[in-house]
Amino acid sequence: MVSRVWLISDTHFGHPAPYDKFVDPATGVVGRSWASNVKEGDEFIRDMWAETIRPQDIVYHLGDAVVAGRRDALEHLAAMSSLPGRKRLLIGNHDPSPIKHRAAYEEVFEDVMSVKRLKAGAYLSHYPIHESSLMMRVKGGATIHARNIHGHTHHEVVRMENGEPNPHYLNVCVEKTGGLPILLEAALGRGASGRPDGIRTSVGGSPGAGSPERGEFSSGTSEGGGEAARRGMATVA
Ligand SMILES: [Fe+2]
């Protein structure tokens, strides 16, 4: 069976912050989300993950999986091992130390790193990478301006000097994705949807294509959408 590659960031399991500045994928309006508390918010993300990702799929979590310093941070980290997929972590500033808690990470993630270079022309990272570092030499010797798929900025996007969203960056924090994992092909602007549960997720604003902010993740439900999707999309405010 073909394995697919998914992206998600800043789940902050066990912490309420992601649910306070949720971006409505239809309108771009920032507001409080469908989740009224951290338990509901965690449950929604977990439900969507479980409905979307198959065991053989690869999932890059772009950091801040949990929040270090909270009493139950390591419990939330351990609970991620029950979610499907081969998980890899781009370490975030709020994640517990991967040196101190190496064994805990090894239970969940098959790799923990700070930056991942994809031959497809993208860098994955928690923090946005400075644009001068996004030049990438590709097969055949050409140099391209790669895309940086990142987390950390929550409901905000990386902007150019004129204030417009920078099309070379894509923020996949859960506030921006409606809590959903995003297919890598879609994040690269290849027009894939790939959601098996009937939820269509598309990403516009491929490099050079203009603003990726409004509607960069447009999600809707259709027949066959899962319960978690209906619950979430019905209450996005
Ligand atoms: Fe974060």
Average pLDDT, stretch 49-67? 97
Give dist(CA 83, CA 81) in Å, integer: 5
CATH code of the region 5-235: 3.60.21.10
Average pLDDT, stretch 105-118? 98
Rounded to a whole number of angstroms, the distance between the first and last alpha carbons of the chain is: 38
CB 187 within 8 A of CB 216: no
CB 147 within 8 A of CB 168: yes
pLDDT digit string, tens, across residues 141-175? 999 999 999 999 998 999 999 999 999 999 999 98
Between the CA of 126 and the centroid of ligand 1 the distance, in Å, is 9
Residue type, 14: G
Between the CA of 154 and the centroid of ligand 1 the distance, in Å, is 6
Between the CA of 152 and the centroid of ligand 1 the distance, in Å, is 5
Q: pLDDT category, 37, cuts 50, 70, 90? A: confident
CB 168 within 8 A of CB 145: yes
Give dist(CA 60, CA 48) in Å, integer: 15
Please tell me the predicted confidence (pLDDT) of residue 149. Answer: 98
Instruction: Fill in the DSSP letter of residue 69.
Output: T
Between the CA of 57 and the centroid of ligand 1 the distance, in Å, is 24
Between the CA of 17 and the centroid of ligand 1 the distance, in Å, is 8
Residue type, 122: A
pLDDT digit string, tens, across residues 184-237? 999 998 644 433 222 233 333 333 222 234 335 433 322 333 443 433 332 221
pTM here is 0.80
Cα 86-172-230 angle, rounded to 5 deg: 85
pLDDT > 90? residue 13: yes
Domain boundaries, the chain: 5-235
Where is mean pLDDT largest: 26-30, 94-98, 206-210, 213-217? Answer: 94-98
Between the CA of 65 and the centroid of ligand 1 the distance, in Å, is 8
Please tell me the predicted confidence (pLDDT) of residue 90. Answer: 98
- Please state, rounded to an integer, the average pLDDT across all residues of the chain: 81
Closest CA to 170 of 33, 162, 30, 185: 185
- Tokens found for residue 109: 């993630």
Please tell me the predicted confidence (pLDDT) of residue 73. Answer: 97
Please tell me the predicted confidence (pLDDT) of residue 232. Answer: 35
Between the CA of 139 and the centroid of ligand 1 the distance, in Å, is 34
Question: 135-137 and 143-145 as β-strands: parallel, antiparallel, unpaired?
Answer: antiparallel
CB 179 within 8 A of CB 11: no
Please tell me the predicted confidence (pLDDT) of residue 60. Answer: 98
Residue 135 has a CB neighbour count (10 Å cut-off) of 10
Please tell me the predicted confidence (pLDDT) of residue 34. Answer: 66
Between the CA of 100 and the centroid of ligand 1 the distance, in Å, is 20
Between the CA of 172 and the centroid of ligand 1 the distance, in Å, is 11
Please tell me the predicted confidence (pLDDT) of residue 237. Answer: 19
Please tell me the predicted confidence (pLDDT) of residue 166. Answer: 97
DSSP H stretches of helix in the chain: 38-52, 73-79, 102-108, 174-177, 184-187, 227-235
